[in-house]
Amino acid sequence: MAKADLSAKWLETPIGPLLVVASDTHLYAIEFHDEEAQPDPVLRVGRKLGAVIRMDGDSPALAQALDELRYYFLGKSAQFHVKLFYEGSAFERQVWEQLLLVPLAETCSYGDIARALNQPSAARAVGEANHVNRIPIIIPCHRCIGSDGSLTGYGGGLWRKKWLLRHEGQMRPVGLFAEGF
């Protein structure tokens, strides 16, 4: 997969604009953007990925990711089927794959993930893997909380983490007679 062939578009959401970056076949990154002065986010993300990013380019994976994110923010679906491209250490990849198993509107602790990986003393390392997750929301690191139930650390800010968890709580079907059953 040639990293030089990445396209990006901005997506306006209730939690601020997101920069969504993909190749023709895979989603590479979702980045939160705040209004305060920062270096050009497209250049910054390009440097992180080691790639040149074309703004307003088109690709099937980018279109799919944007559509799936729009449905998510509308509260219509939390199903993501776009193929993901994520680089990281073997441990980071294991953490991200565990996060993909956390059901909608549920949470786990960093320790829960560490124990699931048979590394019970690695809760801090799980937190670090969450911190370097380039595909937030879809790889739901916002669902990881402190062992005492507190909201701790989130690259997009704790207010976004809280918003995402509340949003997902409203999306989750409840009981046998919930819509969709």
Task: List the catalytic residues.
Answer: 141
Are the CB atoms for 116 and 99 separated by under 8 Å? no
Are the CB atoms for 136 and 155 separated by under 8 Å? yes
Look at residue 1 and give its three-state secondary structure. Answer: coil
Are the CB atoms for 168 and 78 separated by under 8 Å? yes
Q: How far apart are CA 37 and CA 169, in angstroms?
A: 33
